């Protein structure tokens, strides 16, 4: 018998699975049961484009806690990351991703069970991150807001004002940088902002 042919995957729109994908996924079965069932604790943070120093430390702690070979974990995470990110990229339903896993690991149903357990949540987060990055590439993107309510009692021009004023700090991305803009907002303008939000959100 010849070598098995390429395995088509829905997450690659029919493209062939990487040759080592099935073997790397099966390494999940080498992990202690507790570690395998806790895999999303380290898989979810590993889905970003680049690992931070804190995420690398988390992987080291995970390996130490469960006495796992770091190469085994690295290869499992690489394979899972590939499937989850490719599935998220085309909004692939969990059922279709499960069928992909069955194609490359037909003898390891636990792999599918564990990987699909967090897939929909991860897919939603990845797609949200892609949307935010796409918007930030083409202009400033609001990513947060903080507020504080104060009151103006008096100025050199007048006394007894007792006017509430909100300090509204907008946090936004300007290319790769995160910036802040703090505005003083009077009640009438807060009312206008509330009306705009109601119209936008329907």
Amino acid 68: pLDDT = 93
- pLDDT tens for each residue of the chain, 202 residues long: 445 678 999 999 999 999 999 999 999 999 999 999 999 999 999 998 888 899 999 999 999 999 999 999 999 999 999 999 999 999 999 999 999 999 999 999 999 999 999 999 999 999 998 888 888 777 888 889 999 999 888 887 878 878 899 999 999 988 778 999 999 999 899 899 999 998 888 7
pLDDT at 3: 57
The DSSP bridge partners found for residue 182 are 169
Count how many residues are written for the chain.
Answer: 202
In angstroms, the CA 8 to CA 46 distance is: 25
Buried b vs exposed e over 55-79: b needs ≥16 C-beta within 10 Å? eeebbeebbeeeebeeebbbbbbbb
What was the pLDDT predicted at 162? 82
For residue 157, the model assigns a pLDDT of 81
E strand map for the chain = 141-152, 163-174, 177-185
Rounded Cα–Cα distance for residues 101 and 107 (Å): 10
Q: What is the structure's pLDDT at 26?
A: 95
Instruction: Give the pLDDT confidence score for residue 1 in this predicted structure.
Output: 46
pLDDT at 202: 79
């Amino acid at each position: 018998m010849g070598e098995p042919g390429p395995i088509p995957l829905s997450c690659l729109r029919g493209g062939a699975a990487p040759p080592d994908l099935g073997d790397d996924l099966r390494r999940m079965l080498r992990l202690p049961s507790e570690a395998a069932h806790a895999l999303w604790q380290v898989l979810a943070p590993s889905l970003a484009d680049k690992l931070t120093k804190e995420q690398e430390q988390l992987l080291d702690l995970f390996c130490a806690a469960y006495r796992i070979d770091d190469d085994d974990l690295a290869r499992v995470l690489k394979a899972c990351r590939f499937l989850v990110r490719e599935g998220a990229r085309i909004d692939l339903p969990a059922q279709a991703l499960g069928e992909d896993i069955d194609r490359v690991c037909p003898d390891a149903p636990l792999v599918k069970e564990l990987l699909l357990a967090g897939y929909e949540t991860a897919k939603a987060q990845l797609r949200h991150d892609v949307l935010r990055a796409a918007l930030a590439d083409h202009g400033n993107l609001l990513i947060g807001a903080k507020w504080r309510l104060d009151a103006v009692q008096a100025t050199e021009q007048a006394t007894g004002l007792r006017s509430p004023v909100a300090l509204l700090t907008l946090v936004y991305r300007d290319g790769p940088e995160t910036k802040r803009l703090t505005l003083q907002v009077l009640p009438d303008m807060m009312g206008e902002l509330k009306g705009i939000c109601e119209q936008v959100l329907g």
